[in-house]
Structure 1
């Protein structure tokens, strides 16, 4: 199925400065958001306790706040959780006495607010939260290093650098959106970012693979022309794949509920940004890095020469002439 006719070659590289400028604005805005507003770390990373409470009727949030202000949980933050009759009480820090059941305490404290059910109590100590945050950053770092090594081995170092720059572009903008919309950052967000990196690098490699194929067969010496042809050939495939994934993620975002909202929101933004970067940004970085068709063909010819020499020596050895 073709959405875009491959007979019409789109001159995307003629607009690469505009694409890179637009991406730079988004990245800089995201970094400013992350430095100024920061991230809303959940208990997975900040430590603390979450108590999920469901009422038979609409939750009396104002009354809950007034009651908790008179207790040791005066720093609690109360917010709706999906529906008006369900709330989440977030308590930062760790409890002083882990032998006490916070669920039992809340049953007593909230008794005057009406008929309710405590559905969930999650507690993470600050030390565990710090360890999870550190391990999450390590996971992101080592995944980027592994992708850099893989792409360098499969292609050429400029392809690897371009793909990693595109991944950093995707991750930064996705995290900027998380900060802008004050989405709670927990392990689900980390899983979404790692999923996004895998999805984006897969899309980028498909485009780069087509560029490499065309580099080997073309007589054109202008890299921009080869990239335009390659991206045009993969445009329908990239668009269809992204739309399919986006429909699924959108369903999770709008109908999946609060539990997976952070994961689906991050993926929703990431798929859009990752598709954009695979088509417009990664290839533009390749041009900016001064990739040379002549050098590429010379290296490929040298590899072919070495391979033929090895095959000839092996044949002579098998025939007993060496």
Structure 2
């Protein structure tokens, strides 16, 4: 496959997804979870492990969009997270439903807390700060290890991964929570690793074949790295998919954005970052040629 020749097709695929996602985000906004919107958390000790579907039979009467996770060492407690600001009467109504069905005691209401939007704002600020620090550190490292154009290409590819994840969440109205932020930071590291492997191959190929065009160098380097990159991604995806299929609810909320991120990161490493470097180097070459001609 001639990736450089078909680069506009690969760029267009990403652009379409991102544009649709941004439009959906502008119209409907992100489906922000309790970590960002504030709301109510209720933790109840059931005394045994029950399925999420069983919990929903009660919770859906009060909030069909509430998230439910298991907690406790024996997974015999449930945490109900809702964006609704339940008052004390409503909290006890929810607990009494469980109390009556599972013969609980008053002390089995482990905790009930209300979270205001301020906590969501704090999480957003910390997430943005963490991402900014990571991006600056990567920019400095890649510029030092390779060259500035490699660094710019890598950062644009990382921005692509984040935008693809946000777009998918916006299009399918998937709740965005604290796990999403953790997944983004994880994917930034995963994606940049794949990208650097290919960049290292490009640098090595340039050193060994100085007379080859940029197009041939990039295509040859990607072909040499392609099997390794795909095999690594497939192995990672299989593991995360198993976690998503077999894991409990609190594992699934982390696994889902990781699945999306691994796919986006693999795509950007092969079809976005390296072609971008080719575009930058070709423009630099043309600029030098025009300057000499003038």
TM-score by length of 1: 0.73
Deviation at 1:89, TM superposition (A): 5.6
Contact 2:161 2:265 in 1 (8 A): yes
Compared with structure 1, are the counterparts of its residues 211 and 105 closer, same or farther at alpha carbon in structure 2 (3 Å cutoff)? same
Deviation at 1:182, TM superposition (A): 2.4
* Structure 2 partner of 1:310: none
Match of 1:169 among 150, 154, 160: 160
Match of 1:240 among 231, 245, 248: 231
Compared with structure 1, are the counterparts of its residues 16 and 52 closer, same or farther at alpha carbon in structure 2 (3 Å cutoff)? same
TM-score by length of 2: 0.79
- For 1:81 and 1:127, the matched residues in 2 are separated by 22
Q: Please state if 1:114 is matched with 2:105.
A: no
Match of 2:31 among 37, 40, 48: 40
Q: Deviations over 1:75-110 (max 9, x none)?
A: x55557489xx8946143486xxxx798656434x3
Instruction: Structure 1 unaligned segments of length 5 or more: list them.
Output: 1-9, 69-75, 296-322
- For 2:253 and 2:261, the matched residues in 1 are separated by 12
Instruction: Structure 2 unaligned segments of length 5 or more: list them.
Output: 71-77, 287-294
Compared with structure 1, are the counterparts of its residues 279 and 60 closer, same or farther at alpha carbon in structure 2 (3 Å cutoff)? closer
Q: Please state if 1:130 is matched with 2:121.
A: yes
SS at match of 1:92: coil
Contact 2:39 2:116 in 1 (8 A): yes
Deviation at 1:30, TM superposition (A): 2.1
Compared with structure 1, are the counterparts of its residues 127 and 120 closer, same or farther at alpha carbon in structure 2 (3 Å cutoff)? same
* Structure 2 partner of 1:186: 177
| Superposed CA RMSD | 3.3
Compared with structure 1, are the counterparts of its residues 112 and 64 closer, same or farther at alpha carbon in structure 2 (3 Å cutoff)? farther
* Structure 2 partner of 1:261: 252
Contact 2:241 2:259 in 1 (8 A): yes
- For 1:42 and 1:277, the matched residues in 2 are separated by 28
Q: How many residues align?
A: 270
Contact 1:27 1:173 in 2 (8 A): yes
Q: Please state if 1:275 is matched with 2:266.
A: yes
